[in-house]
């Protein structure tokens, strides 16, 4: 049985839906914190069980009968993230799974400026030490995060943010297809090549693309780091989260997310990855201003 953690989340749910195209529903299990939110999957024949990264026993029950476990990284960072994902790895091993597939990141590094990347690198070390067969997906940066960075620029005509650098923005659907392929009919051992779209672009280029698609001028304005962070805190963003977001800008301008190479992702999904322009075009169509 293929077990998907976080199956109520955007990526986890998309992976389950991709698997359902080729894998019998009774061979798919969903591990979720709230089974009530996964009733649609249950109705399709997917086994739904509660699995919480803070509750090892619940994970062991959710992973029962697993051949492969897809571990979707949580939103936590630091020691808590490593501890919780490490618990999931240990329970997958105890449940007798043959392979773990983990959602890592192209920027995974113990020395990254962006704290989530440090946690990814630590978990890749845990996977290596586990002795289990595993695949660590070096996913491109989720394109949805670019929407967060774009903010309300489509309304105001101004994209104000700190100095940044190019990022290989990559869509959830493409990454979900790749994960499903590796869970169902393909295999890569250890850390994958970066799974990204074909180009890395910065906020200046995003503003230009958004201007074209929205039919209005959007100016990119560079804001000093300290000023941007102070504005975040003034708007009620917790200081720890503000510091983490500042790390994202520092990491991007250090080139941590700039290595765009679509070859492996295209191979896994059978078609060229979605470009950021087409991603943003679709998003704007779904969210008329």
The answer to whether residue 246 sits within a structural domain is no
The answer to whether residue 78 sits within a structural domain is yes
Average pLDDT for residues 55-69, to the nearest whole number? 98
Q: Determine the pLDDT at residue 154.
A: 93
Residue 61 pLDDT grade (very low, low, confident, very high; cuts 50, 70, 90): very high
The answer to whether residue 234 sits within a structural domain is no
- Dist. CA 204–CA 168, nearest whole Å: 14
| Nearest to 101, CA basis, from 125, 124, 82, 77 | 124
DSSP state of 37: G
- Dist. CA 260–CA 85, nearest whole Å: 27
Share of the chain above pLDDT 90, in %: 94
**Number of domains the chain contains:** 1
Which of 228-255 are b and which e, b meaning 16 or more Cβ less than 10 Å from the residue's Cβ?
A: bbeebeeeeeeeeebebbbbbbbbbbee
CATH code: domain of residue 72: 3.40.50.720
Residue 28 backbone dihedrals phi, psi, to 5 degrees? -120, 135
The answer to whether residue 80 sits within a structural domain is yes
**89/287: higher pLDDT:** 89
Residue 289 pLDDT grade (very low, low, confident, very high; cuts 50, 70, 90): low
The answer to whether residue 146 sits within a structural domain is no
Whether 32 and 7 have beta carbons less than 8 Å apart is answered as: yes
- pLDDT at residue 74 greater than cutoff 90: no
State pLDDT tens for residues 198-227.
999 999 999 999 999 999 999 999 999 999
Whether 197 and 260 have beta carbons less than 8 Å apart is answered as: yes
DSSP string, 140-188: PEETHHHHHHHTTHHHHSEEEE-----B-EE-HHHHHHHHHHHHHT---
Q: Determine the pLDDT at residue 163.
A: 97
Provide the mean pLDDT of the chain: 96
Which residue range(s) make up the domain with 64?
2-139+172-196+259-274
- Dist. CA 237–CA 14, nearest whole Å: 29
Which of 86-98 are b and which e, b meaning 16 or more Cβ less than 10 Å from the residue's Cβ?
A: bbbbbbbeebebe
Residue 195 DSSP SS3:
strand
Share of the chain above pLDDT 70, in %: 100
State pLDDT tens for residues 150-185.
999 999 999 999 999 999 999 999 999 999 999 998
Residue 47 DSSP SS3:
strand
State pLDDT tens for residues 96-154.
999 999 999 999 999 999 999 999 999 999 999 999 999 999 999 999 999 999 999 99
The answer to whether residue 17 sits within a structural domain is yes
DSSP state of 271: S
Q: Tokens standing for 185?
A: 């009919």
Whether 19 and 45 have beta carbons less than 8 Å apart is answered as: no
The answer to whether residue 107 sits within a structural domain is yes
Average pLDDT for residues 74-87, to the nearest whole number? 89
DSSP state of 235: T
- pLDDT at residue 287 greater than cutoff 90: no
Q: Tokens standing for 153?
A: 């620029």
pTM over 0.85: yes
Q: Determine the pLDDT at residue 75.
A: 79
């Amino acid at each position: 049985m293929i077990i998907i953690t976080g199956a109520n989340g955007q990526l986890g749910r998309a992976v389950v839906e991709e698997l359902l195209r080729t894998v019998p529903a009774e061979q798919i299990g969903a591990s979720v914190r709230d089974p009530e939110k996964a009733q649609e999957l249950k109705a399709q024949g997917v086994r739904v069980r509660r699995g919480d990264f803070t509750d090892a026993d619940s994970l062991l029950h959710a992973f029962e009968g697993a051949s492969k476990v897809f571990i979707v990284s949580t939103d936590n960072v630091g020691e808590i993230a490593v501890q919780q994902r490490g618990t999931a790895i240990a329970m997958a091993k105890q449940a007798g799974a043959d392979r773990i597939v983990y959602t890592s990141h192209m920027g995974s590094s113990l020395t990254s400026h962006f704290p989530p990347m440090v946690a990814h690198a630590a978990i890749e070390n845990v996977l290596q030490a586990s002795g289990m067969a595993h695949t660590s997906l070096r996913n491109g940066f989720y394109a949805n995060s670019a929407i967060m960075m774009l903010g309300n620029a489509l309304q105001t005509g101004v994209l104000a943010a700190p100095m940044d650098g190019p990022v290989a923005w990559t869509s959830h659907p493409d990454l979900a297809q790749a994960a499903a392929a590796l869970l169902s009919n393909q295999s890569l051992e250890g850390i994958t090549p970066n799974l990204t779209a074909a180009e890395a672009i910065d906020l200046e280029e995003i503003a230009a693309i958004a201007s074209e698609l929205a039919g209005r001028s959007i100016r990119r304005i560079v804001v000093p780091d300290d000023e941007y962070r102070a504005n975040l805190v003034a708007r009620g963003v917790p200081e720890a989260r503000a510091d983490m977001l500042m790390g994202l800008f520092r990491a991007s301008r250090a080139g941590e997310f700039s290595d765009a190479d679509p070859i492996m992702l295209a191979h896994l999904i059978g078609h060229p990855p979605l470009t950021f322009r087409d991603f943003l075009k679709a998003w704007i169509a779904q969210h008329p201003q």
